[in-house]
Amino acid sequence: MRGPRWLTTKDRVETPEDLAGMKIRVPDSPVFVRSWDQLGAAPTPMNFGEVFTALQQGVIDGQENPLSLIYTAQFPEVVSFLGRTEHVMEPITMVVTSKRFQQLSHEHQDAILEAANGAAQAFVAEQVLAGETDFLQKLQDAGMTLVEVDKEAFRAQLEGFVGDTFPELLPVHEQIRATAR
C-alpha cells in the first residue's frame, strides 16, 4: 500500500533552502518538475528503474517516493536521510466501469457505494498507516536518519504555486484543500 511521498537525500534537508541546487529525481510530470524547481532544487526527471544507480553514482542527490518504494528499492544503501515531507498524498480508489456498475442491482450498487465511502475507506486508511509505521521502522533499522522537515517553510515556498503555474487546476486544488482541513 502506498502512503504519502517522502524525500530521501544524501545530505540533510530541513528547509527549502537546504535544497539549493540539489539534483532531486522526480517523475516526468510538469507539476513535479515545476514544484521542486520552485522549492530551489534542480528537479531531474528520470525513469524509476535508473534511480538507484543514479544515486549510487552521484548523478542525483536525492529522490522522492512513498516509504514502501523507498524500502523495496533499497535506497538506504545509497542515501542516508529520510525527510518527512509527505508532500503528495496518493489516494487509493475503487474503480469500476460505468457499464459494469449499471449492470448491478440497485442493492449491490448501494452496498458498493456504502463500502467505498465507509468501511473500505477506513480499512485502507488503517492499512496505509500500519504500513507507513512498519516501513519507517525498517528504513531506520537500515540506517536512514529521520528528518522532521519544516513543513510550514515548504508550504510557504509553494504558496500560490498552483494558481500561478497551473491556473486550470486551481478550482480542484481549492476543493481538495477545503475538504482536507
Q: 25 in helix, strand or coil?
A: strand
pLDDT in single tens digits along all 181 residues of the chain: 578 999 999 999 999 999 999 999 999 999 999 999 999 999 999 999 999 999 999 999 999 999 999 999 999 999 999 999 999 887 667 788 999 999 999 999 999 888 888 887 778 778 777 788 999 999 999 999 999 999 999 999 999 999 999 999 889 888 888 876 6
pLDDT of residue 1: 56
Domain ranges of the chain: 5-91+135-180
- pLDDT of 117 reads 82
Helix (H) or strand (E) holding 135: helix 119-141
Sign of torsion, CA 73 76 78 83?
positive
Contact 8, 74 (CB under 8 A): no
Match 521502522 to its residue by C-alpha cell. 137
CATH architecture of 5-91+135-180: 3-Layer(aba) Sandwich (3.40)
User: CA 142, 53, 78: angle at the middle one, nearest 5?
Assistant: 25
Helix (H) / strand (E) element for 32: namely helix 30-38
Phi, psi angles (nearest 5°) of residue 42: -110, 85
Distance CA 163, CA 69 (A): 30
pLDDT computed for residue 181 by the predictor: 61
Its pTM stands at 0.82
Cell numbers given for 43:
528537479
Burial letters 107-133, b for 16+ CB under 10 A, else e: eeeeeeeeeeeeeeeeebeeebeebbe
